[in-house]
Structure 1
Amino acid sequence: MFDNIILNTDSYKASHYLQLPPGTEEQSSYIEARGSDRGWDKAVFFGLQAFLKEYLTKPVTLAMIDEAEQFWATHGEPFNREGWLYILNAHEGYLPVEIRAVAEGTILPNGNVMVEVVNTDPECAWVTSYLETALLRAVWYPTAVATNSYFAKRAIWQALLKSSEDPAGQIAFKLHDFGARGVSSQESAALGGMAHLVNFSGTDTVAGALAARRYYNEPMAGFSIPASEHSTITSWGGPDGEEEAFRNMLARFAKPGSLVACVSDSYDIYHAAEELWGSRLKKDVLESGATLVVRPDSGDPLTVPVEVISILAGKFGYHLNALGYKVLNPAVRVIQGDGITAESLPVILENLMAAGFSADNIAFGMGGGLLQQVNRDSLKFAMKCSALKVDGYWRDVFKDPVTDPGKRSKKGRLALVLEQGEYKTIRREDRHAEQEDLLKTVFRDGRILKLYNLNEIRARAGAEFEKVDEIKAVA
């Protein structure tokens, strides 16, 4: 139903082939993150390759053209059947466009070109803009989620640098993706879940791990552990059965070296932490050789997990690390998965450290706050035409609305360069010979020319976390 690229657009796009100036041969458009309503000054570029593999490597067929014509005929828009038949016959159905993009995983300051698109056949200048709806959506959503996850990682990393003796050994599993049930579709879960895995290795979003395998050649990008839900605890007979439900979790999953997570707020999180886990089941926890991860799931997320950690410290003990922070007995940890957002997460960490505890003691799960509470304005994404070639000559195309300077668009054919270590978007003709254009051709005429795997994307996006001294200075 939704695999016809001709119908993967906005309605008004169907008429735009009639609106270009006579003699138009090429249309060059670009994608950028213009800014942020979330305070993000940069973006983690990700997700283009998934779109290319899923949609643009598949040719348009006569059946697709016929389907589209029937739709547009009753929808109120003209249909460029002649143009699509030309693509079918002259290009075997593959779209005659070239896409250049910065390397996936690049952390790019806002206001810079990420992607540039241009048609490769002068008969098809209209195709560039026709792709805007699908292509922009394919880029903004996974990039926004990857960026959301990245800024959460920065907050956790800074807390670890302040309070942990082993930040590098902790960070990969400090934020777990709980978002699959909170997104709008399975495809959203796949793309968003995969985007989170650029920064972390913990997930319960199966679709994200599968997408990373399919689109980025990573056999297993994310990992999980046995964990309870409220139904598996409350089904044991109400409050009186909670202890047996907990005991069953230990018996089934608590083995030497393993982790097991147990939701513990079905009735009284404080009673569960102090009396059940901390007294009646303490011996079982310690003798299992596993790490029990206690999960609060209600109440004020800014304070409850800190209170639970304090209770567990009193029951299971702790040691002071070299930085002067308390670290729980390795038999117990806490994960907070309720109410976690980019805004609440750093506050919880601040409260935890203010109470004298290391960030070692806690991990986080984020659901809607990770995958669903982003939109195109989270990074003010836009795709705009910046140049037209008309009768053999290139001309600038831009907008500059007097009512909103923030929507001023770029002019000309663009390049992305580094100047004194800073990314800068310039006109191609202004690029010096020694300056490398960081936009590389990834797609042309139905073929992907540059493939990235998730490991190299992770390395690129995570490079700054190797610079411990610089991050510590920020912290």
Structure 2
Amino acid sequence: MIDTNAILLSDTYKQCHRRIYPKGLAKLVSYWTPRRSMFTDPDDEMIFFGLQGFIKEYLIGYFNKNFFERPAAEVEESYHRYMDIQIGAGNYDLESVMELHELGFLPIKLSALPEGTKVPMGIPCIQLTNTDSRFAWVTQWVECLLQASLWKPCCHATVGWKYHKLAEKYYRETVDDSVSPFDAMADFGMRGMSCMDEAIHASAAWLLSFNKTSTIPAIPYIEQMYRTDCLAAGIGRGAVSTEHSCQGANFAVDGDEITFIKRMLTELYPNTSFSMVSDTYDYWNLVNNLLPQCKKEIMEHNGKMLIRPDSGDIVKISVATVQKLWEIFGGTTNEKGYKVLDPHIGIIYGDGCQLTTVETIWEQLKELGFAANCITFGVGAFCFAATIEENGKMIALTRDTYGIAMKATLGVVEENGAEQRFFIYKNPKTDTSHMKKSHRGYCNVVESGGKLRCLDCLYHEPKETLLQPVFCDGKLLKDEDFVTIRNRIYGGE
């Protein structure tokens, strides 16, 4: 992103509200909450993830570089220019912006649920409030920046969790317990994301549930934002792999496909596992005819060769391929009585790997007596943008997927030495679904009977709450590592 004056990272109306709030407003309390799931499951929960990265990246890093450390004249000039374009001179309040610049940090406090928490609908994840009575407006000003940065990592973390639960089921039923479901799938989505930042954040969220990704910059992001040694943790592994240009170029030079396959096995990567896209010309010719001709090289290869179909009917091709590889190369029977392909050969599919499709493949393989780890999957960008449920309903992943909103719930006006506390809320009569009805006052998030509950309508901040301080006055108060967050989801697996 270009180095825009940080105070301009909002939509237009946030720049007007400083004037519009009641005179003497000294405190504003707001909550960031998933209100309702679009998924069919009535007990659907959202994985909360991305706040720590957002705080480091924006509330500290970006604001310091592009607001507090910039000369006052430069901040004033850019603010004037772009707000004049937006709403016209005289319709915004520059004085309070420059007062904030002079202060030198964001005078707000964020308290939040621990990242990795499975959040039911209607439970606030973050509480925001100002710490300086001059800057009550900053509380809600943060909304646009927070929303644009956080809803998608939460959705992507939840997508990864849904895939992991499916992998857990079939690995528990058909795979030896020594084989981890964290290795069942990889993120293949980088090139299909809307921008590089989205690709990085999506892959980081995915890596809460799996070990593998093809999105390299997700690794330094996790190491810097979640202070984790990814090498030591085994997080962020990729793989040697070919693409169609590799297959096509070598075919053009060699005049056949088999020469390149054997060169990969014996010269280029004799001691390394790799995947090879296999449908550039004739997939079934490669499987039925070329692989048997390469059997000696494959069995002597110090690694695994994964063939990768990339088109056609994913279910039929995946299941038939596993059967054919068993016929050619054989394998073993595991402790649970399921067939496992010889460790020198396998299949990875990275096209159209929707949850329902993956489940169908694993179920059919199970019925045929094959273990789930006979095939691995590369999950792509479509699956990070939409989910297809068993009933065929497609759910796009947007801010509305979980109805995420940030709403002010309590205000304090101070005037002539007196303090007035009041609830702020919305309850539209036209909202027949009642989704937009907001909390009132302070909220106390507690655990009761193994479930998170929210108690609102409080005039004062509760002392015992699961929303714990993570940021205050420009400083990060809680710096968790990535593995701790992952273990919070999966109980230390």
Q: TM-score, normalised by structure 2?
A: 0.88
Once the two structures are TM-superposed, the CA of residue 225 in structure 1 deviates from its matched residue by 1.4
Give SS of 1:99's match: strand
1:259 — aligned with what? 273
Distance 1:65 1:151 in 2: 47
Distance 1:240 1:462 in 2: 50
Amino acid at match of 1:267: Y
2:436 — aligned with what? 407
Once the two structures are TM-superposed, the CA of residue 15 in structure 1 deviates from its matched residue by 1.1
From 161, 186, 200, give the equivalent of 2:196: 186
Instruction: Confirm or deny: 8 A CA contact 1:274 1:312 kept in the other structure.
Output: no
**Change beyond 3 A, Cα 1:428–1:400:** closer
Give SS of 2:435's match: helix
Pairing of 1:235-274 with structure 2 (within 5 A): 235-237=249-251, 240-256=255-271, 258-274=272-288
Give SS of 1:352's match: helix
From 116, 120, 130, give the equivalent of 1:119: 130
2:295 — aligned with what? 282
Deviates more, 1:335-344 or 1:424-433: 424-433
The answer as to 2:256 corresponding to 1:233 is: no
The answer as to 2:453 corresponding to 1:450 is: no
Distance 2:484 2:85 in 1: 47
Distance 2:360 2:153 in 1: 26
1:294 — aligned with what? 307
1:153 — aligned with what? 164
Instruction: Confirm or deny: 8 A CA contact 1:34 1:380 kept in the other structure.
Output: yes
Once the two structures are TM-superposed, the CA of residue 171 in structure 1 deviates from its matched residue by 1.4
Instruction: Confirm or deny: 8 A CA contact 2:30 2:128 kept in the other structure.
Output: yes
The answer as to 2:67 corresponding to 1:34 is: no
Pairing of 1:412-427 with structure 2 (within 5 A): 412-427=441-456
**Change beyond 3 A, Cα 1:21–1:252:** farther
Give SS of 1:222's match: coil
Note the alpha carbon deviations across 1:143-191, whole angstroms, 9 max, x for none.
Answer: 110110110010111011111112x632122111111111111111111
Once the two structures are TM-superposed, the CA of residue 372 in structure 1 deviates from its matched residue by 3.7
Once the two structures are TM-superposed, the CA of residue 342 in structure 1 deviates from its matched residue by 2.9
Give SS of 1:206's match: coil
1:393 — aligned with what? 420
2:352 — aligned with what? 339
The answer as to 2:366 corresponding to 1:325 is: no
The answer as to 2:116 corresponding to 1:105 is: yes
Give SS of 1:386's match: strand
**Change beyond 3 A, Cα 1:414–1:252:** farther
Deviates more, 1:153-162 or 1:14-23: 14-23
Once the two structures are TM-superposed, the CA of residue 37 in structure 1 deviates from its matched residue by 2.0
Pairing of 1:363-378 with structure 2 (within 5 A): 363-373=376-386, 374-378=397-401
Once the two structures are TM-superposed, the CA of residue 369 in structure 1 deviates from its matched residue by 2.9
**Change beyond 3 A, Cα 1:251–1:64:** farther
Give SS of 1:31's match: strand
Deviates more, 1:58-67 or 1:179-188: 58-67
Amino acid at match of 1:438: L
**Change beyond 3 A, Cα 1:128–1:165:** same
Instruction: Confirm or deny: 8 A CA contact 1:99 1:115 kept in the other structure.
Output: yes
Distance 2:403 2:12 in 1: 22
Distance 1:348 1:104 in 2: 32
The answer as to 2:87 corresponding to 1:87 is: no
Give SS of 1:217's match: coil
Give SS of 1:28's match: strand
Deviates more, 1:41-50 or 1:217-226: 217-226
Instruction: Confirm or deny: 8 A CA contact 1:415 1:431 kept in the other structure.
Output: no
Amino acid at match of 1:242: E
Deviates more, 1:237-246 or 1:418-427: 237-246
Deviates more, 1:247-256 or 1:374-383: 247-256
Distance 1:348 1:37 in 2: 26
Once the two structures are TM-superposed, the CA of residue 354 in structure 1 deviates from its matched residue by 2.5
Deviates more, 1:395-404 or 1:356-365: 395-404
Instruction: Confirm or deny: 8 A CA contact 2:440 2:458 kept in the other structure.
Output: no
Unmatched 5+ stretches in structure 2: 387-396
Once the two structures are TM-superposed, the CA of residue 355 in structure 1 deviates from its matched residue by 2.6
Deviates more, 1:386-395 or 1:25-34: 386-395
**Change beyond 3 A, Cα 1:315–1:212:** same
Instruction: Confirm or deny: 8 A CA contact 2:427 2:438 kept in the other structure.
Output: yes
Give SS of 2:250's match: coil
Amino acid at match of 1:107: K
Instruction: Confirm or deny: 8 A CA contact 1:97 1:117 kept in the other structure.
Output: yes
RMSD after superposition: 2.1
Distance 1:445 1:82 in 2: 20
Instruction: Confirm or deny: 8 A CA contact 1:113 1:415 kept in the other structure.
Output: no
**Change beyond 3 A, Cα 1:81–1:155:** same
Note the alpha carbon deviations across 1:248-282, whole angstroms, 9 max, x for none.
Answer: 221245445x42111111122222122212x1111
Instruction: Confirm or deny: 8 A CA contact 1:165 1:323 kept in the other structure.
Output: yes
Note the alpha carbon deviations across 1:433-472, whole angstroms, 9 max, x for none.
Answer: 9x94111111011111111111111111221x85xxxxxx
The answer as to 2:212 corresponding to 1:202 is: yes
Amino acid at match of 1:396: F
1:18 — aligned with what? 19
Amino acid at match of 1:52: I
Deviates more, 1:144-153 or 1:299-308: 299-308
1:355 — aligned with what? 368
From 373, 381, 405, give the equivalent of 2:404: 381
2:53 — aligned with what? 50
Deviates more, 1:419-428 or 1:359-368: 419-428
**Change beyond 3 A, Cα 1:38–1:235:** farther
Amino acid at match of 1:444: C
Instruction: Confirm or deny: 8 A CA contact 2:32 2:124 kept in the other structure.
Output: yes
1:307 — aligned with what? 320
1:172 — aligned with what? 182
Distance 1:175 1:110 in 2: 28
Give SS of 1:104's match: coil
Once the two structures are TM-superposed, the CA of residue 211 in structure 1 deviates from its matched residue by 0.9
1:473 — aligned with what? none
% identical equivalent positions? 29
1:469 — aligned with what? none
